[in-house]
Structure 1
Amino acid sequence: MKDKVILVEMLYEKAEQYTKTTFELYRLKTIDKVTDVFASVASRFAIVAVLALFFVLLTVGMALYIGEILGKNYYGFFTLALFYGVLALVLVKKRKPWLDDKLNNYLINEIFKEKKNASN
């Protein structure tokens, strides 16, 4: 009877240790995935920020050039503002299929990248 009690205690200790180890493993995997996704998003954000600065400077140059052609500098800024306003309307109308779906798919692919690689 004493052997059974010892076996049950050992079984209980092993189950407790397994549960703690499994929890720690899932915690570490979650941290790994979160940091991977954050690093990927942060690097893309940095690229987008540099590209935005490039396009802002390009737009100012284009506005000044168009203004010179039209005779007054502010005409060039008004022309480009109208262009960007129309572009914004198109993006608002097409946001779901062009931007939201692509961003969702990107994040899902980043989160489940390990499972996809493991199955191949």
Structure 2
Amino acid sequence: METNATTPENLNIFEKAENYTKTSLELVKLKTVSASADVLSTLVSKIAVGAVVAIFTMFLNVGISLWLGMLLGAYYYGFFAMALFYLLVALILHRNQHRWIKTPIGNLIISSILRDKDTDLK
């Protein structure tokens, strides 16, 4: 005859397994919240800095355009010169986008992910 009775030792093991599962789930939740907060705070700070840099760049470009226009004899010539400059910059960036932008950013993301996994294991 087999007995299906659970002994106190079995209950203790089940309780420990249940507690371990709950604790592991809570740890995953906390790590997710921490990672989300880190990503969000980094994103917000970079957007704020980017907005200030964009405004600075815009005013700098308008100033340079007006100055060039004054030197060239008509203000719109300065704006045409700046537009030509940015067209050349765009063409150069487009030609070298994989080498200068895509590959370094991809490597940065991969190293960031792997660094996070390494710190989680310690």
TM-score by length of 2: 0.81
Q: How does 1:50-69 map to 2 (within 5 A)?
A: 50-69=52-71
- Report Cα offsets for 1:42-80 as digits up to 9, x if no partner: 212211211111111000000011111111111110110
How far the C-alpha of 1:33 sits from its partner, in A, is 1.5
How far the C-alpha of 1:101 sits from its partner, in A, is 2.9
- Within 2, Cα distance between the matches of 1:116 and 1:14? 28
> Residue 21 of structure 1: which of 6, 23, 45 is its match?
23
Say yes or no: does 1:30 pair with 2:40: no
Q: Which runs of 5+ in 2 are unaligned?
A: none
- Within 2, Cα distance between the matches of 1:38 and 1:104? 19
Say yes or no: does 1:12 pair with 2:14: yes
Percent of aligned positions that are identical: 38
- Within 2, Cα distance between the matches of 1:83 and 1:54? 18
- Within 2, Cα distance between the matches of 1:118 and 1:19? 18
CA RMSD of aligned residues (A): 2.6
- Within 1, Cα distance between the matches of 2:90 and 2:45? 25
Q: For this pair of structures, how many residues does the alignment match?
A: 120
Q: What is the one-letter code of the residue matched to 1:103? A: I
Q: Which runs of 5+ in 1 are unaligned?
A: none
8 A contact 1:66–1:73 mirrored in 2:
yes
- Within 2, Cα distance between the matches of 1:30 and 1:112? 16
TM-score by length of 1: 0.82
Runs of 4+ in 1 over 6 A off after TM superposition: none
How far the C-alpha of 1:108 sits from its partner, in A, is 4.0
- Within 2, Cα distance between the matches of 1:36 and 1:110? 12
- Within 2, Cα distance between the matches of 1:119 and 1:16? 23
